[in-house]
DNA sequence: CACCAGGCAAGTA
DNA sequence: TACTTGCATGGT
């Protein structure tokens, strides 16, 4: 039942938006950094921060790790929570250097769920950030659940507010298991839909999902 | 002016 | 386990 609803939503959004070419970012490392910086923050402010890191020539695992906290905090100021995000970036980089000699390629050689659990042990990396890194930086088959995903599904009566992250993820992953491009594209479509049509305050009138007659 | 943005961890009961 | 709070800038 829910499975068909999810497929219909996907098809509708894909018809409306087309290919979105996610994640915005040129390298796996840039994507991982972006995943941490975008926590509860507008993407525009994250882009500014990443541009500044690039301008300072610090957008690589070793340079960023060796940079002073105060320097990093200043560079990422526009992304908000800059002190705590500096610590989170450093915690991730410390993990990357200790466990994988600073190599994302080595890190992504791990088995998916083993790596996911290790990432969740890093302070500052929660469910969504871990999954964003796994899917968009590592090209691994895992579904990313975010605030937009939850809001859109709740508004269409597919889940209720008490569903956990893992439950919602399992719902999507039970639908089309092991399909990286589907997970990649679907999350991107949901985020775009959220940005344009599913803010906390109304705006639903032009949403492509509005006339869908779900449930 | 108020509200929101692609969360997370630590503290409290 | 389940809730609350701090973290912070920049756009609408």
Angle CA(A38)–CA(A96)–CA(A149) in degrees, nearest 5? Answer: 30
The pLDDT tens digits for A63-114 are: 999 999 999 999 999 999 999 999 999 999 999 999 999 999 999 999 999 9
Q: How far is the CA of A88 from the C1' of B2 (A)?
A: 30
C-alpha span between A68 and A86 (Å, rounded) = 10
| pLDDT in the model for residue A175 | 79
pLDDT band at A1 (very low <50, low <70, confident <90, very high): confident
Interface residues, strand B, Cβ cutoff 7 Å: A 22-24, 34-35, 38-43, 45, 80-81, 84, 120, 122-130, 132, 136, 146-148, 191, 194-195, 199-201
* Nucleotides of C strand lying within 7 Å of any protein CB atom: 6-11
Q: What is the pLDDT of residues A147-201, one digit of tens each?
A: 999 999 999 999 999 999 999 999 999 877 789 999 999 999 999 999 999 877 6
> Percentages helix, strand, coil for chain A, rounded to the nearest 5?
65, 0, 35
Angstrom distance, A88 CA to B9 C1' = 11
Taking residue A123's Cβ as centre, other Cβ atoms within 10 Å add up to 14
Average pLDDT over residues A17-32: 93
Rounded, the Å distance between the CA of A211 and C1' of C6 is: 40
What pLDDT is recorded for position A69? 98
Positive or negative, the Cα torsion across A150, A153, A157, A159? negative
What does the pLDDT read at residue A211? Answer: 73
**Nearest nt to A82, CA vs C1'?**
C8
The answer to whether A116 CB sits below 7 Å from nucleic acid chain C is no
CA angle centred on A20, ends A4 and A155, rounded to 5°: 45
Contact A37, A46 (CB under 8 A): yes
Predicted confidence (pLDDT) at residue A23 exceeds the cutoff of 80: yes
Residue A117 in contact with residue A129, Cβ under 8 Å? no
Residues of chain A with pLDDT > 90: what percent?
A: 84
Structure tokens at A99: 């466990």
What single-letter DSSP state applies at residue A137? Answer: I
pLDDT of residue A91: 98
């Amino acid at each position: 039942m829910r499975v068909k609803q999810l497929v219909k939503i996907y098809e509708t959004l894909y018809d409306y938006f087309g290919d979105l070419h996610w994640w915005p970012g040129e390298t796996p490392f840039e994507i991982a950094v972006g995943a941490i910086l975008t926590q509860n923050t507008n993407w525009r402010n994250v882009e500014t921060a990443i541009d500044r890191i690039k301008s300072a020539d610090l957008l690589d695992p070793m340079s960023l790790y060796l940079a002073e906290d105060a320097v990093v905090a200043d560079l990422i100021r526009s992304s908000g929570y800059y002190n705590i995000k500096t610590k989170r970036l450093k915690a991730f980089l410390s993990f990357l250097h200790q466990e994988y000699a600073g190599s994302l390629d080595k890190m992504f050689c791990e088995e998916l769920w083993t790596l996911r659990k290790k990432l969740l042990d890093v302070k500052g990396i929660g469910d969504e950030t871990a999954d964003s890194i796994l899917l968009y930086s590592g090209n691994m088959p895992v579904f990313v659940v975010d605030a937009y995903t939850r809001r859109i599904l709740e508004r269409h009566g597919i889940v209720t507010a008490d569903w956990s992250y893992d439950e919602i993820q399992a719902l999507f992953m039970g639908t089309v298991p092991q399909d990286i491009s589907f997970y990649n594209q679907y999350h991107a479509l949901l985020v775009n839909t959220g940005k344009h049509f599913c803010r906390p305050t109304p705006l639903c009138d032009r949403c492509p999902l509005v006339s869908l007659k779900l449930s």
